[in-house]
Structure 1
Amino acid sequence: MISSIKETKQDKIFLAFVYLLLTVALIVVAYPLIYILSASISNPTIVAAGEMWLLPKDITFEGYRRVFQDPSIWNGYLNTIIYTVVGTLVNLLVTLPAAYALSRRDFVGRNLFMILFIVTMFFGGGLVPTYLVVRNLGLVDSMWALILPGATSVWNLIVCRTFFQSSIPRELQEAAEIDGCSNFRLYFRIVLPLSTALIAVMALFFGVGHWNNYFSAMIYLNQQEKYPLQLVLRQILVLQQMSAQAGTIDATMATSLNNKAEVAALVKYAVIIVATLPIIAVYPFLQRYFVQGVMIGSVKG
């Protein structure tokens, strides 16, 4: 027979407070998502007038129709997917081996290299020197200008190094070395398979960063056909902001700008939904890695 523990009055008050806090957090997080989704299928005039604050009104799918018919948006979508996939692979290929090497106690000079990495977290050359370096390397107006300058993140490097030090038992590595396992084989056949959770989390962190990045593209890319989706979205936002000055020009042009602004606002919300869906779809598949202990049972005795 399972005995139940009776909750005290203080426990009930605390539990009610927790539920209240979680409900408020849910509302704060969910409201912007619901608002954007509703705005993407509502009449842009009603949205601009502030008459729609939660549920959609005067439903229209004109924004999604224009998104699916606009070649620049689809081209930006394709560019973003390419930049995200290639950039994430480069990040993992650079970060994971470097972190593993820095986690090895027999790596001579690892503390010096770690100090040099950490210094870059506090001191940087700035935008102009970085642009000059990228230009001198011939990377301007190419995909690699968005990938190679940020090939690794020192913070993620430290996280990976800490994971290798704390989660990969030294005894397991020593046993593999006694059996004649080389360093490369140890890394690829033992360390990486035991680091599935770390790889998934790092891929998610790097991937989200590449997916949302627009500033580097705005600085280094000149040809519009190479723009990522976020930069295309920025152009739509700029078009909408231009309509705010419509009152200072003649009526014909003001009407034209207002019409374009309404279309831009409708497309803006639709693009936000379309651009966010892939990241939202990936999260459920990687969420378990945040709470799963992959090292349980890897060492016996």
Structure 2
Amino acid sequence: MKDTADVQSGLDKFNRIKPITNLVFHVLFILLGIVSLFPVLFVVIISLTAESSIQEHGYRLIPSAFSLDGYRFLYQQSDMILRALGVSVFVTVVGTLLGIALTTSMGYVLSRPQFRLKKFMTWLVFIPMIFNGGLVSSYFITANLLHLKDSIWALILPLAVSSFNVIICKTFFRSTIPDALVESAKIDGASQLRIFFRIVLPISLPVIATIGLFLCFSYWNDWFQSMLYIDNQNMYSLQALLNKIMGQADYLAQNAASLGVSVADLAAKMPKESARMAIAVIIVLPIACAYPFFQKYYTSGLTIGAVKE
């Protein structure tokens, strides 16, 4: 018992942090936090700045005049924005769940040493991460071969699985899930699906949260798939719709002289810069609120699980 206490006391010495070092770390992380939050705060301030103030003084941390014109401009498009928001939420939720299911199952299969096609399938997954077929082949398969043009699945399936995520899952399962744990479950009569869903996934929350966060960001920020495959405006995602609204605003502002009087007046009064920042706030806010729910799973599950003696 005395030896154990001495060893523990020795380890505590190595784990101790001096007060001055602790203070330096606190100051450093506070500064890093301020640096990280400043751009977000600046974007919010610009979205609340009057367009005349931006044109006269440029971007300022403390504007000379505040205004909600950028948000009013977006409120005028509220029907379209709410519909596009519904599309983005549906695509993000369904795509993330489908992507997690496909990615984790592929990663688990490739991590098992008994899988006979392991080497071939690993190369099949790895090669597209280095070389891909390009945009033309992707468009041909999605639009012409699978006939997904103007379909909600055109926004989901192309982003559901990536080689990078599969490799992450494979590495995690191979280094974290003991072979003895899987073998003991087989001895007890568990099938592969039962082992995967009842044993492997519950102790793999960190990698599930990581892949889920990657997929969530990817789906929520995507506008390119809508531009490629969606012609029906009622099926635009939020990012694609706001990108189009901003593009139309730029077009009206740049061509006001050649347009009709009423449209020219609209272009002159349009809060272009504040509306651009308001769009950024609307896009970032939901995903920023979702991030803390993923973060708590990063460290959980790392030491869960046991091997039968």
Does the alignment reach a TM-score above 0.5? yes
Tell me the equivalent position of 2:183: 174
Match of 2:302 in 1: 295
Report the 3-state secondary structure (helix = DSSP H, G, I; strand = E; otherwise coil) of the residue aligned with 2:173: helix
Deviation at 1:65, TM superposition (A): 4.0
Mapped contact 2:96–2:216 kept (Cα < 8 A): yes
Q: Distance in 2 between matches of 1:132 and 1:225?
A: 23
Question: CA, structure 1 residues 176+57, in 2 after alignment: closer, same or farther (shift >3 Å)?
Answer: farther
Q: How many aligned positions are there?
A: 293
Residue 42 of structure 1: SS of its match in structure 2? Answer: coil
Residues 80 and 228 of structure 1 are in contact (CA less than 8 Å); yes or no, is this contact kept in structure 2? yes
Q: How far, CA to CA, are the matches of 1:96 and 1:200 in structure 2?
A: 11
1:24-70 CA distance string (max 9 Å, x none): 64444222211111122221221233444224553333433443452
Give the secondary structure class of the aligned counterpart of 2:43. helix
Partner of 2:170 in structure 1?
Answer: 161
Please name the residue that 1:40 is paired with.
47
The answer on whether the counterparts of 1:240 and 1:265 sit within 8 Å (CA) in structure 2 is: no
- How far apart in 2 are the matches of 1:289 and 1:73? 32
Structure 1 letter corresponding to 2:248:
L
Partner of 1:108: 116
Q: What is the aligned counterpart of 1:30 among 17, 37, 47?
A: 37
Matches within 5 A, 1:245-284: 245-246=254-255, 249=258, 252=261, 254-260=264-270, 262=271, 264-284=272-292
Report the TM-score when normalising by structure 2: 0.84
Structure 2 partner of 1:210: 219
Q: Which residue of 2 is the match for residue 192 of structure 1?
A: 201
1:177–1:211 CA distance, 2 compared to 1 (3 A): same
Q: Give the gaps of 5 or more residues in structure 1.
A: none
Q: 1:293 to 1:75 in 2, by over 3 A?
A: closer
Which residue number in structure 2 is paired with residue 234 of structure 1?
243
Distance in 1 between the 2:227 and 2:34 partners?
34
Measured at CA, do residues 250 and 143 of structure 1 come closer, stay the same or move farther in structure 2, by a change above 3 Å? closer
- Assess, with a 3 A threshold, how the Cα gap between structure 1 residues 82 and 247 changes in structure 2: closer, same or farther: closer
Asked whether the 8 Å contact 1:246–1:258 carries over to 2, the reply is: no
User: What's the TM-score, normalizing by structure 1?
Assistant: 0.86
| Paired residue type of 1:258 | A
Describe how 1:42-191 pairs up with structure 2 within 5 A: 42-55=49-62, 57-69=64-76, 70-136=78-144, 137-191=146-200
Letter in 2 for 1:82: F
Question: Unpaired runs of 5+ in structure 2?
Answer: 1-11
Provide the rounded CA distance (Å) in 2 between the counterparts of 1:120 and 1:223.
31
CA distance in 1, matches of 2:89, 2:225: 16
Alpha-carbon distance in structure 1 between the residues aligned to 2:227 and 2:185: 48
